[in-house]
Amino acid sequence: MTIIKVSKDGKKLFKKVDELVVPLHVPDDVEAGGRVMHVEMMPSERSKRLVNVFLLIIALLVLTAGMVGGVYLYKYMAHRHKVSKVTIQYVDGDMPKAMPQREGEEGFWCGTIDEEVDIMADYQVEKIDVPKFDDCSSSVVIHDFHTNTSVIVDNDDSECFIMDLDRTQMSPPRSFAELITKYASGYYMPKVDVVRRDYHVVTPPLTDLSFAGETIKQECLGYASYKLEKNEPPQMLEIQFYLKRKVFKTFGYSDLRQVVKDRIFK
């Protein structure tokens, strides 16, 4: 190795010395015949910046996911608070075994129905949990006014029966909510009549329920779903044919103005 020095008068002095050798520090506990060298690596400034950016991105993703989840949870909890329980007393003039009404009135008191109604006004959806009564099986009935679709969910047999929404028989969610509020406060006592309708099942089962709306699609997930077509006008020969060759189910529901009994032929 050559060392160059510059004197005060500008002369360069050259001096050749032996190579500089720095001995390695060997710990005392190293076994004989081997050496260990400890090297400490310090992260560079660039690596620190990359780590900070990565952590910042993760924090933003977590914050965004929390905000989105909070919005959906708020909407879910908001509509769940609109669940109401109503008791319907209905009249049926076609059932002679029913209890008679007051003197001078037509028809008969047939009984009462305790229904749980979930009104999702923001989604234009009504969900009615109907217990078993008379000849009707227990079911869940959903009316989607956005897609103009109704469904009867048979949880016992894991089946869904989808039909067109009858707006002449069913009230929209906001009107329905006002009707329930007035009914619960004793504002008036509606006279509920019975409406009967016959449908037949269209086969094969449906594979895509997107046309019926997200609420109905989720409710019928994993169930065999069928489209229903109305038997109108009812033909006696056709009804007798179904009674001989097919089986049928009866489901009921109400919107406080009438009890609807749908008989579904399969």
Q: What is the pTM of this model?
A: 0.63
68 within domain boundaries? no
Q: What is the DSSP annotation of 154-184?
A: ETTTTEEEEEE--TTTS--HHHHHHHHHHHH
Environment class of residue 253 by beta-carbon count within 10 Å: exposed (0-12), middle (13-18) or buried (19+)? buried
Q: Is residue 11 part of a domain?
A: no
When divided into structural domains, the chain yields a total of: 1
Q: Give domain status of residue 3, yes or no.
A: no
CA distance 208 to 137: 26
> In Å, what is the CA distance from 51 to each residue of 41, 58, 265?
16, 11, 66
- 23 assigned to some structural domain: no
pLDDT of residue 102: 44
Let me know if residue 24 belongs to a domain: no
Which tokens go with 132?
């078993």
- Euclidean distance between CA atoms 147 and 2, whole angstroms: 91
Residue 75's pLDDT is: 62
Please list the pLDDT of the chain residue by residue as tens digits (266 residues): 566 665 666 665 555 555 555 455 555 555 545 555 555 556 666 777 888 888 889 989 998 888 888 877 766 665 554 677 777 777 765 554 444 444 444 545 567 788 888 888 778 899 999 999 888 999 999 999 999 999 999 999 999 999 999 888 788 888 887 877 777 776 665 567 788 888 889 989 999 999 999 999 999 999 999 999 988 665 555 555 555 556 789 999 887 778 888 888 87
Nearest to 199 by CA among 241, 224, 227, 220: 227
- Cα distance between residue 217 and residue 151, in whole Å: 10
167 within some domain: yes
Query: Could you tell me if residue 5 is inside a domain?
Result: no
Q: Which domain holds residue 140?
A: 78-265
Please answer whether residues 77 and 112 qualify as being in contact, where contact means their C-beta atoms are separated by less than 8 angstroms: no
Q: What is the Cα–Cα distance from 228 to 169, expressed in whole angstroms?
A: 17
Residue 164: how many other CB atoms lie within 10 Å: 13
Token representation of residue 92: 């049926």
- Does any domain span residue 124? yes
